[in-house]
Structure 1
């Protein structure tokens, strides 16, 4: 992990960038779809849900005052498929430990402890669709630095409101070293 004065932004893909689970009532004609703004590799073109990812999110993410980090089960596929679609460079990827029988027994999301460890005291925001109040409380009591756990509605994916919340928090004096 490079040393950086910027806070980290841990970003999940399924839910925040690829919306799912909405009813026809919310999207009568199905989810909006998009075309890539530039050339993408075959891996990206072949993904069945890639057209749900709004390529405009790439510049919005790059404009945030943070270091972007993939925090997703997509692992290296995030850089092979999603990053090119969004026009992002390869980003660091959180490596998840092997699951154990203890994971989730205390009500924490299985990513929570790993992300706190990865942050190593740096301020961080975590964008995911599975964050709970229990995760927020646990981080509040265990994080040595500021943290924002931001839950995105998976039916909508990340919205302008979400970007606004993230931008304000990431740019606040509390998060800048």
Structure 2
């Protein structure tokens, strides 16, 4: 008999960037398949943005199936709920807040999101999916975050892949 899943409050966090992981960009523009039409985007979101045609709606169920609590960590802020969540079939997600004023000042080269993630996670295991993660971020998280963390860099020309979902799923099931 399979044991029941842990309560939502005990699941690791997954901080999700938009540009790069969900909206691939860069390189040859022909490489980015169009998944949604502008018309379908308007139907789902009430607005229009040509970048949203690059969103693969199949990523939504894959994200929802991960054993974690999803949180937007993007410059789209709450616009991610208005524009991306409906395209992916996701409910509105929490949005990473700005870091508290008393958060540790990041060293040069540390991404602006890094202190906000660590402050928000408050020791909870977390994964961060972004195309701008660098070694400075890994060192900063290792120094300031007492819990397990996976900083998973995505190739912005490709976006999230099956390989990325395998890495995330494996880690989220047993954060180390």
TM-score of the superposition, structure 2-length normalised? 0.85
Quote the residue 1:160 is aligned against: 162
Q: For 1:41, which of 41, 45, 51 is the aligned residue?
A: 45
Q: For 1:91, which of 82, 90, 93 is the aligned residue?
A: 93
What secondary structure sits across from 1:125 in the alignment?
A: strand
Quote the residue 1:108 is aligned against: 110
Quote the residue 1:11 is aligned against: 16
Write 1 or 2 for the structure with the bigger share of helix: 2
Bigger relative contact order (CA 8 A; separation at least 6): 1
Over 3 Å counting, the alpha-carbon distance change for 1:93 and 1:80 in structure 2 is same
Q: For 1:130, which of 120, 129, 132 is the aligned residue?
A: 132
Partner Cα separation in structure 1 for residue 25 and residue 71 of structure 2: 22
Q: What CA deviation, in whole Å up to 9, does each residue of 1:70-118 have, x standing for no partner?
A: 000101100000000000000000122599xxx7652211110110000
The count of residues paired between Structure 1 and Structure 2 equals 165
Over 3 Å counting, the alpha-carbon distance change for 1:105 and 1:117 in structure 2 is closer
TM-score of the superposition, structure 1-length normalised? 0.85
Quote the residue 1:20 is aligned against: 25
Kept after mapping to 1: 8 A contact 2:71/2:93: yes
Unaligned ranges ≥5, structure 2: 1-7
What secondary structure sits across from 1:4 in the alignment?
A: helix
Unaligned ranges ≥5, structure 1: none
What secondary structure sits across from 1:40 in the alignment?
A: helix
Partner Cα separation in structure 1 for residue 160 and residue 31 of structure 2: 17
Kept after mapping to 2: 8 A contact 1:10/1:125: yes
